[in-house]
């Protein structure tokens, strides 16, 4: 009697150059749910960012794991299994893993596998993944009299740095993590130089900001949305976000974002503009700092 063929355990394998088109096709097919993975794949650099692939029993590409800037971003097709990233025990294991992020269902599978390797998250944050593919309604009615939304200038840098530091303290830092002012300023200067941005100006004072933080094949992702605490509840966020989205969609791109499930006020602002919840997103953090 012939014994049944033993199926080989699926394992991640580093993407070969010739496989890049197939990886891109998989990412494009789920672009609305995996913008960060798409962005990091597009901007990957040798030795600093790589893609790992997984093939099903039929030989077809079933999942991609983008590894960039100390983050792992899994994207799977259908119900593909996601095995543990054993490659991390090699050269990439020399660098600390900062985060595992992506669609919550994908992250949950990888999370369990990584726990089997002894990697346990120190923090888990859940978000609503929201999308919008049509122009919003006219946002000009929102906000107080005298509010102006505009592109920032070089003269606004110090105010932007102040707003961004406050945003990071409130939305990014948690637990015993402390803000590094110099690093925060550098991040804001990079955003100013590279991303699209809009600010809310009330009486000559910057009271809010919003910017893109990723661009993919057909979409923009927005983030960094912040309004000064003493100016909240006045419709400023709705006016600013609506005006920003209206500008971006004129380029023929869809818009995505993710917002903490615990941030009810922000979720309502985005729903009022026209965003719809597409899925749940999760970020697991694996070391402090």
Identify whether residues 145 and 266 lie together within a single domain: yes
Q: State whether 60 and 168 are in the same domain.
A: no
Per-residue confidence at 270, pLDDT binned at 50, 70, 90? very high
> Domain tally for the chain?
2
Q: Within this chain, do residues 196 and 266 fall inside the same structural domain, yes or no?
A: yes
Strand partners, 255: 132, 220
Q: Which two tokens stand for residue 232?
A: 């909240």
Position 190 pLDDT exceeds 70: yes
Is the pLDDT confidence value at 86 over 70? yes
Does residue 97 lie in a domain region? yes
Which CATH number covers residue 97?
3.40.630
Average pLDDT over residues 198-207: 96
Residues 107 and 142 in one domain: no
Do 105 and 153 sit in the same domain of this protein? no
3-state secondary structure of 77: coil
Tally the C-alpha atoms within 13 A of residue 123's C-alpha that lie toward its C-beta. Answer: 14
**Same-domain check for residues 38 and 174:** no
Show the beta-strand stretches assigned E in 2-160. Answer: 13-14, 49-55, 61-68, 71-76, 99-103, 123-132, 147-150
Helix/strand/coil for 262: coil
Together in a domain, 43 and 141: no
Confidence (pLDDT) at 3: 47
Return the CATH number at 142: 3.40.630.30
Q: What is the pLDDT of residues 105-159, one digit of tens each?
A: 999 999 998 888 888 899 999 999 999 998 887 766 678 889 999 999 999 999 9
Q: Domain end: 58, 84, 119, which one?
A: 119
If we measure between CA atoms, which residue out of 50, 46, 44, 47 comes closest to residue 64?
Answer: 50
Confidence of residue 219 (pLDDT cuts 50, 70, 90): very high
Radius of gyration of the chain (CA): 21
Residue 46: predicted pLDDT = 61
Q: Which residues constitute the domain of residue 182?
A: 132-285
Kindly give, in sequence order, each residue whose CB lies less than 8 Å from that of residue 217, ignoring residues fewer than 6 positions away.
Answer: 24, 27, 28, 31, 38, 42
**Residue 147: inside a domain, yes or no?**
yes
Domain boundary among the residues 84, 119, 154 is at 119
Question: What DSSP state is assigned to residue 216?
Answer: -
For residue 137, the 8-state DSSP code is P
Asked whether residue 261 is assigned to any structural domain, the reply reads yes
Say if 1 falls within a structural domain.
no
Distance between CA 98 and CA 68 in Å, rounded? 10
Q: CA angle at residue 30 from 246 to 111, to 5 degrees? A: 115
């Amino acid at each position: 009697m012939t014994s049944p063929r033993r199926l080989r355990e699926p394992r991640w394998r580093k993407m070969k150059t010739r496989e890049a088109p197939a990886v891109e096709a998989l990412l494009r097919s789920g672009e609305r749910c995996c913008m960060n993975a798409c962005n990091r794949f597009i901007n990957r650099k040798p030795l600093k960012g790589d893609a790992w692939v997984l093939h099903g029993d039929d030989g077809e590409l079933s999942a991609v794991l983008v590894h960039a800037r100390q983050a792992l971003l899994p994207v799977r097709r259908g119900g593909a299994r996601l095995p543990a990233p054993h490659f991390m025990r090699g050269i990439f294991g020399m660098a600390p893993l900062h985060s595992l992020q992506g669609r919550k269902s994908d992250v949950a599978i990888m999370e369990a596998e990584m726990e089997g390797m002894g990697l346990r998250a120190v923090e888990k944050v859940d978000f609503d993944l929201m999308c919008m593919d049509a122009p919003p309604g006219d946002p000009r009615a929102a906000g107080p009299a005298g509010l102006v939304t505009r592109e920032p200038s070089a003269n606004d840098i110090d105010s932007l740095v102040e707003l961004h530091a406050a945003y990071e303290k409130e939305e990014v830092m948690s637990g015993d993590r402390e803000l590094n002012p110099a690093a925060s300023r550098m991040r804001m200067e990079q955003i100013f130089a590279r991303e699209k941005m809009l600010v809310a100006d009330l009486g000559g004072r910057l009271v809010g900001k919003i910017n893109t933080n990723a661009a993919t094949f057909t979409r923009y992702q927005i983030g960094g949305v912040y309004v000064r605490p003493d100016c909240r509840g006045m419709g400023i966020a709705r006016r600013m976000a609506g005006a920003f989205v209206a500008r971006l969609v004129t380029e023929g791109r869809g818009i995505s974002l993710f917002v903490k499930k615990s941030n009810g006020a922000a979720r309502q602002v985005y729903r009022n503009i026209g965003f719809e919840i597409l899925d749940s997103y999760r970020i697991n953090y694996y070391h402090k700092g």
